[in-house]
């Protein structure tokens, strides 16, 4: 330990002298305001604060605007679609249980293709646009003619064909501003009722005028069929060969059996693969996807309220339809339309009435509008609404002779 005499002692405070802090800090009081206070511009500082706040807001907005992306910002729908696609890719897993049967309702839900659905909607819009353009062309054509003298007119008995195997008589009728053709056709064999495709192949993917397709087969009479490559669904059997068996709900199915008798399937809730197999086992000769059914058992069929085509009375369009009177005895009615002063076209209920007046037992509506075409002995005898034939995917033909091996 250090000796006590070596420990430094704190000197005693002298109370008779002033504190050092009082003498050393007097200069801070002189310069405090000059160095640490903002000079007072206004008597009240509130306006200055408001000015600084406004300047800060303006500066913030300028910086935000400068940082905005230069490229176009995707829409909300696009960003949601991209997000949903990524999430599906990350989270989709194989469903538990058995795999859905092909063409079943569950299979349609699981394998829903939005792109195909969008394409179908776009095709329907394009079809409506083409029909509207056709109406415009037909009106211009009628106005340019100046009279009905340029329109086709046939005398009774002028359009007929007769052999020991086939007879065809066509009558042009006019009433209530409507011009239509009633074709009475008698065959001796179901194989004389044939079909053909544009490009001579169901899968060709091309379209041709009715006269171009028929010109390669030389039928006595031909009409446009159901434009089966347009709607891409349903059961398609042509000349006894199965072409397609896809699910569909919006059409009726015309069936021509091995004996040439016509019938229709209107309940499309079943599995079309099973329906097609059943029809093939029965040696079905032809099927057509369109409709609606007009006449059954000689009586007017109940028209659907909501259907692929507008079935309301007053909706007038060119029409093509086929019916049956008896065994191998058929009737085709072709209605011209969209031509003021010649023919306005007719509605589905009116078309139904035309068949009932002719005494048919069965009748079925096919594709119409700008597709409506009647070909007889190498010539188009009606007046297609667009001023020329529309290219289609398939036609229905009535041949002079049966094929070498008739259907049993």
Q: Which residues lie below 8 Å from residue 345, measured CB to CB, with a gap of 6+?
A: 178, 316, 317, 318, 319, 335, 336, 337, 338, 385
Q: What is the pLDDT of residue 355?
A: 97
Asked if 285 and 240 count as a contact pair (C-beta separation under 8 A), the reply is yes
Instruction: Read off the pLDDT of each residue in 161-190 and give the average, rounded to a whole number.
Output: 96
Q: What beta strand segments (E) does 61-165 contain?
A: 159-162
- The C-alpha atoms of residue 273 and residue 101 are separated, in whole angstroms, by 10
- State yes or no: pLDDT of 198 exceeds 80: yes
> How far is 57 from 75, CA to CA, in rounded Å?
29
Give the residues across from 379 on adjacent strands: 376
Give the pLDDT confidence score for residue 116 in this predicted structure: 63
Give per-residue pLDDT as tens, 365-383: 999 999 999 999 999 999 9
Give 353-362 pLDDT, tens digit per residue: 999 999 999 9
Pairing of strands 178-187, 379-380: unpaired
Pairing relation of β-strands 252-256 and 262-265?
Answer: antiparallel
Q: Is the dihedral of CA 360, 210, 179, 292 positive or negative?
A: positive
Closest CA to 171 of 186, 153, 161, 159: 159
Instruction: Name the pLDDT band for 159 (thresholds 50, 70, 90).
Output: very high
How do residues 235-254 score in pLDDT, each as one tens digit?
A: 999 999 999 998 887 899 99
Which is higher by pLDDT, 222 or 77? 222
Give the dihedral of Cα atoms 347, 360, 238, 122; nearest 10 deg.
10
Can you give the pLDDT at residue 146? 42
Q: Domain boundaries in the chain? A: 129-398
Q: What are phi and psi of 245, to 5 degrees?
A: -145, 80
Cα(177)–Cα(39) distance, integer angstroms: 96
Which DSSP string corresponds to 145-166? H-SGGGS----TTSEEEE-SSE
| Contact of 181 with 374, CB cutoff 8 Å | yes
In this prediction, residues 111-139 reach a mean pLDDT of: 65
**Selection from 356, 327, 372, 315 nearest residue 181 by Cα:** 372
Task: Pick the more confident residue, 172 or 117.
Answer: 172
In the prediction, which pLDDT does 407 show?
A: 44
Per-residue pLDDT for 160 more than 90? yes
**Average pLDDT for residues 16-39, to the nearest whole number?**
53
- Compute the distance between CA of residue 161 and CA of residue 221 in angstroms, rounded to an integer: 10
Torsion 46-52-55-60 (CA) sign = negative
Which DSSP helix (H) or strand (E) runs through 275?
helix 272-281
**Would the pTM of this model clear 0.75, i.e. be above it?**
no
pLDDT of the residue at 134: 57
Residue 31: band (very low, low, confident or very high) from pLDDT cuts 50, 70, 90? very low
pLDDT of residue 315: 92
User: Which has more confidence, 330 or 403?
Assistant: 330
pLDDT of residue 148: 41
Q: Looking at the DSSP assignment, which residues form a beta bridge with residue 234? A: 246
Q: Which of 79-83, 272-276, 281-285 has the highest mean pLDDT?
A: 281-285
192 pLDDT band, cuts 50/70/90, is very high
| Mean pLDDT along residues 325-344 | 95
pLDDT at residue 257 tops 80: yes
Which of 330, 367, 289, 384 shows the shortest CA–CA distance to 170? 330
pLDDT-derived band of residue 78, with 50, 70 and 90 as boundaries? Answer: confident
The confidence score (pLDDT) of residue 45 equals 64
Q: Tell me the percentage of the chain whose pLDDT exceeds 70.
A: 72
Tokens 């050393």 belong to which residue? 24
Q: Which of 233, 309, 324, 224 is nearest to 276 (CA)?
A: 233
Measured torsion, CA atoms of residues 340, 341, 342, 347, in degrees rounded to the nearest 10: 50
pLDDT tens digit sequence for 290-315: 999 999 999 999 999 888 899 999 89
The pLDDT assigned to 136 comes to 58
Strands 293-296 vs 362-365: parallel, antiparallel or unpaired: antiparallel
> Cis ω on the peptide bond leading into residue 73 (within 30° of 0)?
no
6-17: pLDDT as tens digits? 666 666 666 666
pLDDT above 70: residue 113: no
Which residue do the tokens 């359009």 mark?
159
Is 396 in contact with 222 (CB distance < 8 Å)?
yes
- Over residues 56-83, the mean pLDDT reads 75
Q: In the prediction, which pLDDT does 279 show?
A: 95
| Helix/strand/coil percent split, the chain, to 5 | 35, 25, 45
**pLDDT range class, residue 56, cuts 50, 70, 90:** confident
What pLDDT shows up at residue 35? 47
């Amino acid at each position: 330990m250090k000796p006590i005499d070596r420990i430094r002692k704190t000197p005693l405070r002298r109370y008779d002298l002033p504190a050092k802090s009082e003498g050393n800090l007097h200069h801070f009081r002189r310069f405090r305001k000059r160095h640490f206070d903002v000079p007072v511009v206004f008597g009240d500082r509130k306006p200055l604060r408001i000015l600084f706040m406004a300047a800060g807001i303006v500066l913030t907005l300028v910086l935000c605007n400068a940082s905005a992306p230069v490229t176009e910002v995707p829409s909300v729908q696009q960003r949601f679609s991209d997000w949903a696609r990524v999430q599906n890719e990350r989270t989709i897993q194989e469903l538990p249980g058995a795999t859905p049967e092909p063409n079943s309702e569950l299979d349609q839900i699981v394998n829903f293709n939005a792109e195909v659905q969008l394409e179908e909607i776009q095709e329907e819009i394009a079809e409506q646009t083409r029909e509207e353009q056709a109406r415009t062309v037909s009106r211009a054509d009628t106005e340019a003619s100046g009279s009905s003298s340029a329109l086709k007119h046939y005398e009774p008995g002028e359009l007929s064909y007769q052999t020991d195997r086939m007879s065809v008589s066509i009558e042009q009728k006019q009433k209530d501003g409507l011009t239509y053709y009633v074709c009475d056709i008698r065959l001796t064999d179901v194989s004389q009722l044939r079909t053909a495709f544009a490009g001579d192949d169901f899968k060709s993917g091309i379209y041709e005028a009715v006269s171009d397709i028929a010109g390669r087969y030389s039928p006595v009479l031909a009409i446009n069929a159901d434009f089966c490559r347009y709607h891409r669904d349903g059961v398609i059997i042509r000349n006894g060969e199965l072409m397609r068996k896809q699910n569909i709900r919006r059409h009726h199915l015309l069936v021509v059996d091995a004996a040439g008798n016509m019938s229709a399937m209107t309940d499309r809730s079943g599995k079309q693969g099973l329906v097609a197999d059943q029809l093939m086992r029965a040696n079905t000769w032809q099927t057509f996807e369109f409709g609606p059914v007009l006449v059954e058992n000689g009586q007017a069929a109940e028209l659907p309220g909501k259907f692929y085509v507008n079935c309301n009375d007053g909706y007038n369009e060119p029409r093509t339809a086929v019916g049956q009177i008896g065994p191998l005895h058929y009737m085709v009615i072709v209605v011209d339309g969209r031509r003021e002063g010649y023919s306005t076209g007719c509605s589905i209920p009116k078309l139904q009435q035309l068949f009932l007046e002719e005494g048919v037992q069965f009748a079925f509506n096919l594709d119409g509008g700008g597709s409506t075409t009647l070909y007889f002995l190498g010539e188009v005898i009606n007046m297609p609404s667009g001023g020329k034939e529309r290219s289609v995917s398939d036609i229905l033909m009535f041949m002079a002779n049966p094929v070498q091996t008739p259907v049993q």
